[in-house]
Structure 1
Amino acid sequence: MPRDEKVGASTIRPRREREQSALALRDQPSNSERDQRGAAYHEAGHIVVAWVLRLAIGGAEIAIDSDPARGATQIQDATHLSLLDQLAICAAGLEAQKLFDAPTHEGAGWGDYGKMIELLDDVDESEDVGLVHQGHERALALLRPHLDIIERIAKALIERKCLDTDEVRDILEG
């Protein structure tokens, strides 16, 4: 049986198990209001960590294609950053959801974990769980000083569903 390691309140499972779970759960039905709130805080987390890491940020959107839990944020390519910072960008959405008690359905974040798996493709599998854990911890460290900004972005996304580049910048520069 694979060994689990704790990250905050969640458990990081071995790579193959995470891949299978993400694919199986991504299409579960969801509660619209709860999921929109979760998606808004999720995207706000990605925005804030990318901003702290000095990446360019475009627009953000939630409730895409009538899926209340689906969101997206345009963020500059981060391949020039350290692996840990790239993992933190991926983990930031889920960590922001936990910080604000803003869950969505169980399949939320599957794309972020997929990106993490891709980033860790050349890493020995015995090390990847530890690196994912470090990515989550780095995300938390970058998010905590900016809780007010996360909340402002999330509230704007809940209200408008879509923010353009200028609206995101205005909130960040607030």
Structure 2
Amino acid sequence: MRNKILRVLPLVLGLLFLCSVSMAGAEEKIGFVDVREIMVNSDAGKKASEEFKKTFEKNKTQIQAKETELKKLREELEKQRSILKEAALKEKESAYQKKFHDYQVMVKDANEDMQKRDQELSRSMIPEIMKVISTIAAKEKYTAVFDIGTALFFVKEKDLTKQVLAEFDRTYKPKK
């Protein structure tokens, strides 16, 4: 319940702000921007997406190879179960369990690596996107600019996403 209130509170405050701005005078200007769209469609975002795809495909290939190996080992173990002595069977099962554990660790590490890369990209891009938004907002005298992802509503005519995206592509140089 508290989390719902905390999520709705900024929206309510935003609405109150919009109401007070509309009553304050005609010179007030409100804009909206879709930060997620900028991150996905910017040149830097597209490049990062390609790198993600390459890494994902590489990981996928390695994981599938390990899965195939595990499947063969399991089938072999099942076929030999009735003819192997108990000690040999335990040894093969132990070897299979170790390889299965290694497989689980590989999948977990691959997922964590992808999440880490995504977080690093966000941490590097968002401050730069915010600078571009601030620059455009100051230059064009916007009183406030809201992110569409967190706004309850937005006015399409006041959507600055394309303008911010173009400026971000022009100015942002990813750190290597």
**TM-score normalised by structure 1 residue count:** 0.30
Q: Relative contact order (alpha carbons < 8 A, sep ≥ 6): 1 or 2 greater? A: 2
**TM-score normalised by structure 2 residue count:** 0.30
Larger Rg: 2
Q: Between Structure 1 and Structure 2, which shows a larger proportion of strand residues?
A: 1
Q: Between Structure 1 and Structure 2, which shows a larger proportion of helix residues?
A: 2
